[in-house]
A and B are shown apart, each in its own frame.
Chain A
Amino acid sequence: MSKKTDNLKLTDQQKTRLLHIALSPGVADAPANEDEMRGDLLCDILRQPLPAELPERAASFPDRVAKPCSTFLAMAGRTLRELLLDPKTDVFVLHRIKEYAKMLGTKAESEVEKDVFLAVYFAAIAAAGLFHSRQITEHSATNLDRFLASFARLPWIPSDLAGLFADAARNQGKGV
């Protein structure tokens, strides 16, 4: 890219213009198609940190006792994107992300939301398999391979996450 944002020297007029964009209600926006909406929602979720406290069901993991609270808290300020793509992210945290996505999925109000939460759910599974050789799901290896590969091909999945799915699918295919 020719112009990196770091080098953007905005005038006051341009800043004001940008702020007006955020101020306007956006009713005139062209409606986004469903894939666009999925991509937008996924990016919004990936920018969020993993909540420090999850609901009851997420606290009932079998390995919760085995992991000190500090392991989780150390990760709590980082975004889901960072956690999912970082090979050093503890498998316990990935487990929490998976359960968090599952919990969000149960509250989803649309197919778009369901699809997005499912992508986060499988991204956590993919990261655990790829970076830790750990299977944190009861899905069969064959099914998992298929799911991961299909997520890697979806047009609304950001490239970094698509790369994670593709690598995990390949890894899974090798029988890891």
Chain B
Amino acid sequence: MGRPDDHTKMGGEGRGFPPTQWTRILSGQERETFLAELYQAYWKPIYCYLRAMGFGNEHAKDLVQGFFSDKVLGEELVQRADPERGRFRSFLLRAVHNYAISLQRTQKPQQSLDETREFSSPQADPETAFDRAWADRLLQEVLKELELECSTRGKLAHWCLFQDWLLNPDGDDGKERISALCRRHGIPDAPTAYHMVENLKRRFRAILREHLIPQAGTAEEVEDELRRFIEVFSRGPARR
């Protein structure tokens, strides 16, 4: 396996850290909030990364805990990060990778990486596993926000329609389908239904991009990020 920064196109030079988060870690109380959010946001991606590196379930969980307590809290990892040297996600990945490797070295000969491997698959690319978990959480967050927005704007029918549209397979489209959805949700006609779906697609797009801008930077980088995630999900599960 190469170094984590060998095979990412998502990082790169000159990409700043999320400015709001960067500002927030400067304050004591805000730092705690930020760290809690960090834990919530990155626990699973880090866990998936470690699993794809070959660590077993329990060992990976322990390592995630250890990483947060030893590195993030103990060594003020976030404060040592240099926003000029790349994106936060890439920085975190490198730190996790180094942590796991160094721990593995210190534990030798009692326990080696090979001894804790539970699987080995050509599809188990750790960075892809990390991105996959991160993007998965992002999508869930965005959908939650969209749902909240719909519920406070009297658009529950929009939301239900959007979900039905989303959950139906691509091939099953057409007039019959939209008519059935109109009947189910009490929507007067197909043009209205299409308009409702388009409306939420527009909102979904806006919210998702709003989430990605602080992470990615420019609009172009957001596009790159989205393409990267599409590639990740198109490949199928990171491991089997």
Contacts and interface: CB of A to CB of B under 8 A. Distances in A.
B7 interface: no
B202 A32 contact: yes
A17 B230 CA distance: 8
Given A19-B230, A36-B199, A76-B24, A8 B143 contact: yes
Contact of B27 (A10, A17, A36, A70): A70
Contact of A23 (B28, B203, B207, B223): B223
17 contacts: A1-B151, A6-B144, A12-B234, A13-B170, A17-B166, A18-B204, A21-B205, A22-B205, A23-B223, A26-B205, A29-B202, A36-B199, A39-B153, A52-B24, A73-B30, A74-B29, A76-B27
Contacts of A29: 198-199, 201-202
A70 B30 CA distance: 9
Contacts of A133: none
A77 B206 contact: no
Contacts of A73: 27, 29-30
Interface string B27-49: 11110011000000000000000
A101 B167 CA distance: 39
A24 B223 CA distance: 9
Interface of B (DSSP majority class):
helix
- Range, interface on chain B: 35 or more
Interface string A1-38: 11111101010111111111111101011101000100
Interface of A (DSSP majority class):
helix
A112 interface: no
Closest 6 A-B residue pairs measured CB to CB?
A158-B152, A73-B27, A22-B208, A12-B233, A5-B143, A23-B226
Contacts of A70: 27-29
Nearest to B155: A39
